[in-house]
Amino acid sequence: MLRIPPVALATLFILAGASCTTRAGEPGLLDDAALKAYAARPFDKHAMMGQTVELGRNHGLPVVAEFPCSDVCPQYTVRIIHYRLPEGADCAAAGGVEKTVGVPVAIAVMPKTFCVPGALAAGGGYYTRP
């Protein structure tokens, strides 16, 4: 009969659990409904300010949520959900819609253009501001 020492058994369980945690934490596939559901949820401005979160892939493209803030934080933290396109990729050809929004910079707001998933473009759910 095979006898496994308790220390080796515990190590195996720890390694197995760690690999499951890593896989569970990786962003997965997002259909349009899941993307809209995420965009409809409120967010904690204090906890998210300055963060960029990998949400997953929508229509094969990576989607991120950015939470920029500048001088009056966390009150003016905004959320911008957009595709992260490879350098030189065309937004429309990728199935996205270019949208320009005000992004907090220092004591001002500067316009910046993002490639937004089509599912969020019409309803404005890609941009949440205070």
pLDDT confidence bin for 4, thresholds 50/70/90: low
C-alpha triplet 36, 72, 37: angle, nearest 5°: 10
Specify if 92 maps to a domain.
yes
pLDDT in tens, 41-50: 999 999 999 9
Specify if 120 maps to a domain.
yes
Quote the percentage of the chain above a pLDDT of 90. Answer: 61
Please count the CA atoms within 13 angstroms of the CA of 85 that sit on its side-chain side: 18
Contact in structure between 76 and 130 (CB atoms under 8 Å) = yes
Supply the pTM of this predicted model. 0.77
pLDDT in tens, 10-34: 433 333 443 333 334 456 999 999 9
Specify if 86 maps to a domain.
yes
Specify if 23 maps to a domain.
no
Work out how many domains the chain is built from and give that number: 1
User: Count of residues for the chain?
Assistant: 130
- 93 has a pLDDT exceeding 60: yes
Contact in structure between 110 and 92 (CB atoms under 8 Å) = no
Amino acid at 106: A
- 52 has a pLDDT exceeding 80: yes
Are β-strands 96-105 and 79-83 bridged in parallel, bridged antiparallel, or unpaired? unpaired
pLDDT at 17: 40
Containing structural domain, residue 120: 28-128
pLDDT at 9: 38
Contact in structure between 68 and 78 (CB atoms under 8 Å) = yes
